[in-house]
Amino acid sequence: MAEERSTKNARAAMGKTVNVAANIVRGVATLFAVVLAAEILLTLGNANPDNGIVTRVADLARPLALGFRDLFTPSDPKTLVLVNYGLAAIFWLVVGVVLAKVIRRLA
């Protein structure tokens, strides 16, 4: 009886740990998408490129765009950022959901 309770407690603890890990992965991926969305909004809104916040967001977003940064090359720079960074943001949201499900399923 005590052994059964111990097994249930261990499973419950493992389940909580797995959920926390999955939520962290999903949260990080969502944060990546938010950074990319912020870069899109700042670009479309004609934010001052010399501003520190604008520069920082652009510096953070650039590596998060991965191979999407130059996937499409429209002549308008705003369209380029909207399409390519938008696709990268969607990519990160999908990756976050898929990885969270994989983590939960494997545990």
| Predicted pLDDT of residue 5 | 74
Task: Say whether pLDDT at 1 is over 70.
Answer: no
| Predicted pLDDT of residue 9 | 80
Element housing 72 (H / E):
none
Can you tell me whether residue 92 is helix, strand or coil?
A: helix
Are 57 and 38 in contact, with CB atoms under 8 Å apart? yes
Are 42 and 19 in contact, with CB atoms under 8 Å apart? no
Closest CA to 35 of 99, 85, 95, 100: 85
**pLDDT class of 2 with cuts at 50, 70, 90:** low
Regarding pTM above 0.75, the answer is: yes
- The residue ranking higher by pLDDT, 18 or 2, is 18
Q: What is the pLDDT of residues 40-52, one digit of tens each?
A: 999 999 999 999 9
Are 18 and 107 in contact, with CB atoms under 8 Å apart? yes
**Alpha-carbon dihedral 107, 103, 15, 3, rounded to 10 degrees:** 10
Please state the rounded mean pLDDT for residues 69-88: 98
Please list, in sequence order, all residues whose beta carbon lies within 8 angstroms of the beta carbon of residue 55, skipping any fewer than 6 positions away.
49
Task: Say whether pLDDT at 7 is over 90.
Answer: no
